[in-house]
Structure 1
């Protein structure tokens, strides 16, 4: 089990970040103080993890890449996650939830195919023909705007770890205590500023301003993480809200 690093001042609190950029800046400030983070490469899970990843990458002076993962949605409940599909076609299913909901393999297959199509569409839109950088010899840092069930992050970790023998950290602004513990078992370190316990958890509750990002906003965000871009001058469009 990896080490969990949090901010004791933020435990159990809500509305602790102004927005994802504020969260990413605070997260980046913490990550860059950690020993052993050499030659970092930041991976952000789109769309919500991109503003966080932009700020972490700037704080570390690191390149930013996209770990394109899509949640497999429970039919009729778009916010509920049954599992995830990754950029290399890997599928991770929450079999306990599948049994609890009584979902057939046919239903799972249809939902998985929709997620797979979305992953390919996002790769085309957001990567613009570029390939993932080679992570060999680097400290890989996976970011998102938070961990609820943790299944999306676990799927990303599985794809990255199984293809490359690299040091992996997960850095997120907020997480449920349960998901933080589960994900920490799969990484060298899990860095999470705001950990909350209790039966009900929502990533959005950690933010004063939380909203969905359009594809256009994601692409604009990514332009600020490319070589030659000036950090926060002007501010990325998503800071102004949708």
Structure 2
């Protein structure tokens, strides 16, 4: 194991991101649910705003932990195509959101378009539920010309992070930083060329799974996500007058 829990991982990661502290252009975006406790510690240490970018993993039939892709909400993201987007694997803007598919897994398991579309519809419903639950009618932050730090608790296949990068890139930020405590080496190397910076504490090989590198790794609940976001917003409201 590398980290006691997500809180400890976030505190460790924050030290590696110290160059981004106290910068008004920096925004920390967590990938819920597991990325929120990590991102909370990062945002707190950097004195940065914290928000969430809801992304759903598209699990293969009969093995939902194996990602064949990911889905990010589309309603907030309207922008132009950048040179970075062209490098993303099989990425498209669909009516259901920003969708990234791992074609190697899809072909290897012979997953039909019909099955993929069925899973996308199901995950879209859950994505919209979480978006409404976490955001409480707050508008999505303006990312244009911002430095956006995307935080998760780890990267295995990287499907959810690739969808997040695609979604954020459409808002034309100044730069995108991916920050994770641990990642599979192949995924780390792939993402490194897709963003302006990637900060990762460790890339163990073989990787196995994200949870293997934590001593305590429970499922993060919706209530925990809401509580941490509320704490972060409350802290900011005491600093910035309305």
Give TM-score, length-normalised by structure 2: 0.84
CA distance in 1, matches of 2:59, 2:218: 19
Worse overlay, 46-55 or 125-134 = 125-134
CA distance in 1, matches of 2:220, 2:112: 32
> Contact 1:90–1:159 (CA<8 Å) still a contact in 2?
yes
Give how far 1:34 is off. 6.0
Higher RCO, 1 vs 2 (CA within 8 Å, ≥6 residues apart): 1
1:162 aligned to which of 167, 170, 174: 170
Check 1:222–1:166 CA distance in 2 against 1; reply closer, same or farther (3 A cut): same
CA distance in 2, matches of 1:195, 1:202: 11
Q: Which residue of 2 aligns with 1:153?
A: 161
Give how far 1:226 is off. 1.2
Q: Which residue of 1 aligns with 2:47?
A: 61
Give how far 1:185 is off. 1.0
2:18 aligned to which of 32, 35, 38: 32
**CA RMSD for the aligned pairs?**
1.8
1:90 aligns with 2:76: no
**1:183-216 per-position Cα deviation (integer Å, ceiling 9, x unaligned):** 1111111100011122x52101111100101211
How many residues align? The count is 215
**1:58-94 per-position Cα deviation (integer Å, ceiling 9, x unaligned):** 0110001111000011111121111011021111111
Q: Which residue of 2 aligns with 1:80?
A: 66
Check 1:126–1:36 CA distance in 2 against 1; reply closer, same or farther (3 A cut): closer
Q: Give unpaired runs (5+ residues) of structure 1.
A: 1-14, 231-242
2:231 aligned to which of 224, 228, 235: 224
Give TM-score, length-normalised by structure 1: 0.84
CA distance in 2, matches of 1:69, 1:98: 19
Q: Which residue of 2 aligns with 1:9?
A: none
